[in-house]
């Protein structure tokens, strides 16, 4: 079995980033007074919870697409995006589409 280093790093990031984000959030929540955090979350739920979840989900979609179908490559508006540029542009498009959906449905 020949495992590429890029695949290993990708899956480490897919696992480590959400877990470390959860630890940072837990530490942040531990040192804030209870009422302050509840007020912030209730008033700004879309920003506090929605945007980070959207960013992580968009990254997951891009990584999953690359793993299932190979390097991301597409053309739009006369531009051709390949490799890392394709992943970044696809992530931005996914992120903006989900954020727009949240905004419209909220």
34-60 residue pLDDT tens = 788 788 888 888 888 888 888 888 887
Q: Is the pTM of this model over 0.95?
A: no
Over the chain, what is the mean pLDDT? 79
Tokens encoding 68: 């299932």
Q: Where exactly are the structural domains of the chain? A: 5-105
* Distance separating alpha carbons of residues 41 and 45, to the nearest angstrom: 5
* Distance separating alpha carbons of residues 89 and 85, to the nearest angstrom: 6
Report DSSP letters for the chain, one per residue. ----HHHHHHHHHHHHHHHHHHHHHHHHHHHS-HHHHHHHHHHTHIIIIIHHHHHHHHHHHHHHHHHHHSS-EEEETTEEEEHHHHHHHHHHHHHHHHHHHHHHH-
């Amino acid at each position: 079995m020949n495992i590429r280093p890029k695949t290993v790093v990708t899956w480490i990031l897919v696992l480590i980033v959400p877990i470390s984000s959860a630890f940072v959030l837990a530490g942040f929540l531990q040192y804030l007074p209870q009422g302050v955090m509840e007020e912030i979350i209730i008033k700004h739920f879309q920003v506090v919870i929605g945007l980070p979840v959207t960013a992580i989900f968009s990254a997951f979609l891009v990584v999953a697409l690359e793993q299932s179908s190979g390097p991301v490559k597409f053309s739009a508006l006369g531009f051709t995006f390949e490799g890392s540029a394709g992943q970044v542009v696809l992530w931005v498009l996914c992120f903006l589409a989900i954020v727009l959906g949240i905004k419209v449905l909220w």
